[in-house]
Each structure stands twice: as structure tokens, then as C-alpha cells.
Amino acid sequence: MTQLLRPEGLVRSPAFAQLAVVPPGATTIYVGGQNAVDATGELVGGTDVAAQVERVMANLKTALAAGGATVQDVVMLTILLVEDVDLAQAYPAAAAALAGATPPVTVQRVAGLAMPGALVEVSAIAAVAR
């Protein structure tokens, strides 16, 4: 089973672990950047960052499920936010979708994303025992 660690000497956050240790023999699943789009590629949520995050996280869960994983199996989460996005509006929707999972996370502010109108993009690495 993957271990999520919060070593002494590093900031302790209830929202994320500092590192994940994946055991030998686990299958690694890489999920490419997910935007707030529906199955046809249309942007969902308009300029509402919370609505976009909800869709992004739903897409992440769909991708993880295709690989036999859930958000509880995520060992690294990368979040890209367009630079003017209010993190305080985005965070609650992401936290709710993670359902208590606290993987290591990297959040970056970017000038823009490849999908016009997208405010957030999430990619993930998960590990599952087979």
C-alpha cells in the first residue's frame, strides 16, 4: 500500500502530504491534464472557477476509473490555475472531490491554458496494487 508521509521538519498540512512512497509491484497510472470539458470537448462552467473545478475533478475521476484507480490512489496531483483565478473559490470544489485524499500536490499559476476559456487543469499520478 502506498504511504503518504508528512516528515518532521517540513510544513504539516491537513490538505496534502509531502511525499508518497509507492511499494514495489504497484501499477502506476498517469493521467494527462484534464480541463473542464464535456465528452464532446465543449468547455463547461464558463467563467465560474468552482464549476470548472467540479468538472475537471469529475473528468479526473473518470480517467482514474478507466485505469482501475480512484482519487484515494493518487500519489501526485498537479494543478494549473490561470493567474487571475481566486484559489479560495477553487479549493473547496477540489477538496470535496478528493474525498479526504491528501496526496502531494503542486499548484502553479500560469498565464493561460491550451483550451480557450479554461481556468484550471489537473493532472495526476496514481498507484494501485495489482
What does the block give as the cell for 76?
501526485
Pairing between β-strand 105-110 and β-strand 74-82 as defined by DSSP bridges: parallel
Residue 1: predicted pLDDT = 83
pTM above 0.75, yes or no: yes
For 61, the 3-state DSSP assignment is: helix
Condensed to tens digits (0 to 9), the pLDDT of residues 34-60 reads: 999 999 999 999 999 999 999 999 999
Condensed to tens digits (0 to 9), the pLDDT of residues 72-116 reads: 999 999 999 999 999 999 999 999 999 999 999 999 999 999 999
Residue 3: predicted pLDDT = 94
Which domains are seen in the chain, by residue range? 3-129 (3.30.1330.40)
Q: DSSP letters along 2-55, please? A: -EEE--TTS---SS--SEEEPPTTEEEEEEEEE-SB-TTS-B-STT-HHHHHHH
